[in-house]
Amino acid sequence: MIKFLDLQRINQRHEAEFTEALRGVLDSGRYIRGRQLAAFEEEFAAYCGVPHAIGTGNGLDALTLILRAFMEQGRLKPGDEVLLPANTYIASILAVSACGLIPVPVEPDPLSFNIDPERLEAAITARTRALMAVHLYGRLADMDRLAVFAAERELLLIEDAAQAHGACDAQGHRAGSFGHAAAFSFYPGKNLGALGDGGAVITPDEELARIVRALGNYGSEKKYLHEMKGVNSRLDEMQAALLRVKLRCLDADNERRREIAGRYLREISHPEIMLPHWDGGKNHVFHLFVVRHPERKKLAAFLSEKGIETAVHYPVPPHKQGAYKEWRQHAYPLTEAIHREVLSLPLHPALHEDEVRHIIASLNQFP
């Protein structure tokens, strides 16, 4: 069986360096907020081309802490509306709700799967204060247009870059460097994945960075002095040490992902299988390679018989989830169609050539 995501194989490539890194943490006797975290934050910020990075417990916390920091600054208040894609992983939306802000879903552009800039205007109200872009499946949202729109409307621009570590535009600007702040997840399956939970906030804003850091540490900057009602959400030394090892391979891993995606796009040829759009640039890091088919269940079953595991990202849209019963009556037809038809193929940097060939051949054999 070709696994959808072979994390064991991906991480075994780093066994020697991981062992050394973990030994260093063990011997340091410091397991929270030590030198590994400081070094990772510096290296990750530099990689993204942004001055500040703050490690967090996970990606959802990173998003939530950004919004909470804006509230501490008085730039957002409960009841303010945040525009975001209807077609996203629910975490983007949960972060907004968790802060007492109102998420306002906007339909995607069906070719990029990302929020459609054309539809933003119609979603604006007197209470709109922020726009959250999500780089879904690893493809940069249309940040030029979103940034112009946000600037014209004086909206805060936040990026959920949890699926897009390292993606960059034609000028080399990385995911996470376009807005006021961005959130990353280092969940094991992400392009930069830890061996456990982890996340980060990056921002060009020094004050925001200071507030996010304090909020994630019980609202405290000075030990036992609490200026804000914070939480405990930190990236630990072991994960930071492992992530430093993997960050050095991120560009090469993303390049390998693009190479496999290029082959899928050139060699998979089937009248009913719709392939993702990509112009060949570095704006896509193929966290996921998502095809569409009107009968994806049949396609998944066929591939499974061929020994190929697939996955669905995602089966139920946020507005149809029990968590958002208040949206039951909302209709987002593009989002709903995407959720009915999408199927994710195995694509990761440790996939072997013969597996790539077998996946391509199998799709082309689908009746």
Residues that bind ligand PLP (CB under 6 A): 58-60, 88-89, 91-92, 134, 160, 162-163, 185, 187, 197, 199
Give burial (CB, 10 Å; 0-12/13-18/19+) of 350.
middle
Residues 6+ apart with CB under 8 A from 31: 25, 236, 237, 238
Residue 59 CB, shortest distance to ligand PLP, in Å, is: 2
Of 107 and 160, which has the nearer Cβ to ligand PLP? 160
Of 253 and 356, which has the nearer Cβ to ligand PLP? 253
Of 237 and 363, which has the nearer Cβ to ligand PLP? 237
Of 163 and 203, which has the nearer Cβ to ligand PLP? 163
Distance of alpha carbon 124 from alpha carbon 32, whole angstroms: 42
Residue 170 CB, shortest distance to ligand PLP, in Å, is: 23
Residue 74 CB, shortest distance to ligand PLP, in Å, is: 26
Question: Residue 61 CA to chain centroid, in angstroms?
Answer: 13
Residue 327 CB, shortest distance to ligand PLP, in Å, is: 18
Q: Which one, of 213, 228, 187, lies nearest residue 65 by Cα?
A: 213
Of 198 and 268, which has the nearer Cβ to ligand PLP? 198
Of 64 and 362, which has the nearer Cβ to ligand PLP? 64
Q: Which one, of 99, 93, 141, lies nearest residue 120 by Cα?
A: 141
Residue 270 CB, shortest distance to ligand PLP, in Å, is: 28
Distance of alpha carbon 299 from alpha carbon 187, whole angstroms: 28
Of 59 and 276, which has the nearer Cβ to ligand PLP? 59
**Residue 344 · residue 288 · CB < 8 Å:** yes
With CB atoms as reference, the residue minimizing the distance to ligand PLP is 59
Task: Provide the pairing of β-strand 102-106 with 342-345.
Answer: unpaired
Residue 7 CB, shortest distance to ligand PLP, in Å, is: 14
Residue 58 CB, shortest distance to ligand PLP, in Å, is: 4
Distance of alpha carbon 136 from alpha carbon 161, whole angstroms: 8
Distance of alpha carbon 161 from alpha carbon 56, whole angstroms: 14
What long-range pairs does 100-105 form, CB within 8 A, spacing at least 24? 101/67, 101/76, 101/130, 102/127, 104/128, 105/318, 105/319, 105/327, 105/330, 105/332, 105/335
